[in-house]
A = this chain, B = another copy of it.
């Protein structure tokens, strides 16, 4: 497999699908799936087989004509493309229900992502331990980021604190931010900021429900 990622820009949707493929493959019972075809994988995600092959083709492909894909190779290749082939450290800021939910999310560590710090400004939370990780005051963020080589910060604070938290993370040297607060946070160009607005998902569901209820009009023309 060639390493052609930087030659042409890979569509965002391709990356999202690669993540889905990996998700799907890692849920497969290991005994039954040594090999898998694009057709089989496509059926599971309700997609066309060509879509999968084309997505893989951006990276030179994962198999050989005539053979089906080897599940192990596929997983390893996807992990490498997505940067999950090495350990990455992350911290969570805001230890409310959402922060605790994220801290307890088992699937993250399967992806090589290790939680190395929890932070809050509520003195009653500071000192408690979740999954062997102690909750610290946010003042200690810069120190931990440096000590533990933290690459990602997850913002699970209330809206009011989100931008301040982002600024603090950036000044501490963090390059990737995953923001779960309901406001958009911004930063310099070289910082990767992903705003995960839960309400967008809910609004989409609401729209689709409304559409489904409507009588279908003349489908042609």
Contacts of A178 in B (CB 8 A): 201-202, 205
Identify the closest chain B residue to A152 (Cβ).
Answer: B205
Interface residues in A155-192 (C-beta closer than 8 Å to B): 175-176, 178, 182-184, 190, 192
Known: A209-B83, A212-B175, A214-B6. A194 touches B204 (CB 8 A): yes
CB distance from A206 to the nearest CB of B (A): 4
CA distance A114 to B113 in the complex (A): 35
Separation in Å of the A101 CB from the closest CB of chain B?
A: 4
Q: How many residues of A contact B (CB 8 A)?
A: 63
Count the copies. 2
User: A14 CB to closest chain B CB, in angstroms?
Assistant: 10
With A6-B217, A98-B101 as contacts: A19 and B204 at CB distance below 8 Å? yes
A20 at the interface (CB under 8 A from B): yes
A150 to chain B, nearest CB (A): 12
CB distance from A217 to the nearest CB of B (A): 5
